[in-house]
């Protein structure tokens, strides 16, 4: 789609587009729109892996070479994600207890939104 076609469709779709906004869209589309060659290319750019497995465990760091007494609990998360080609990728990371509680809260919020859909 050319920049002019895009601007015409946007202008026809809503009166909320100001002339300045349409000029910015035209400029960006002219400069960057060529990076998306086909709809299939756009689809691959926007794909996100699928969560296959999520594991977590609670741990306690009691000491290290650099620190005699840590005594801080942490949560280790292990994610397995299938990328669009089907390859399974494992990623792990550690969080503090408050970070884990925040993540858990966000998961509950997402779950409640998904139940409404």
CATH code of the domain covering residue 96: 3.10.450
Residue 60 is part of which domain span?
A: 50-116
Tell me, rounded to whole angstroms, the distance of Cα 117 from its chain centroid.
Answer: 20
Q: CA-CA distances (angstroms) from residue 53 to 65, 79, 87, 90?
A: 33, 6, 13, 9
- Computed over every residue of the chain, the mean pLDDT equals 80
**Quick one: 104 and 76 in the same domain?**
yes
The total domain count for the chain is 2
- Highest mean pLDDT, choosing among 8-12, 41-45, 100-104: 100-104
Angle (CA) 59 62 68, round 5°: 155
Please give the residue that has the higher pLDDT: either 69 or 25: 25
For 93, residues 6+ apart whose C-beta sits below 8 A from its C-beta are 76, 77
Q: Percent of the chain, pLDDT > 90?
A: 16
Q: How confident is the model at residue 6 (pLDDT cuts 50, 70, 90)?
A: confident
Q: How confident is the model at residue 90 (pLDDT cuts 50, 70, 90)?
A: very high
**Quick one: 33 and 62 in the same domain?**
no
Phi-psi region of 71 (alpha: psi -120 to 50; beta: other; left: phi over 0): left
pLDDT for residue 41? 55
């Amino acid at each position: 789609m050319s920049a002019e076609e895009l601007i015409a469709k946007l202008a026809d779709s809503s009166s909320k587009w100001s002339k300045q906004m349409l000029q910015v869209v035209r400029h960006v589309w002219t400069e960057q729109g060529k990076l998306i060659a086909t709809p299939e290319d756009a689809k691959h750019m926007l794909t996100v892996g699928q969560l296959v497995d999520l594991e977590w465990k609670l741990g306690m760091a009691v000491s290290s070479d650099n620190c005699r007494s840590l005594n801080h609990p942490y949560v280790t998360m292990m994610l397995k994600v299938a990328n669009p080609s089907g390859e399974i990728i494992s990623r792990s990371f550690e969080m503090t207890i408050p970070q884990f509680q925040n993540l858990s809260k966000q998961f509950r919020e997402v779950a409640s939104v998904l139940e409404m859909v």
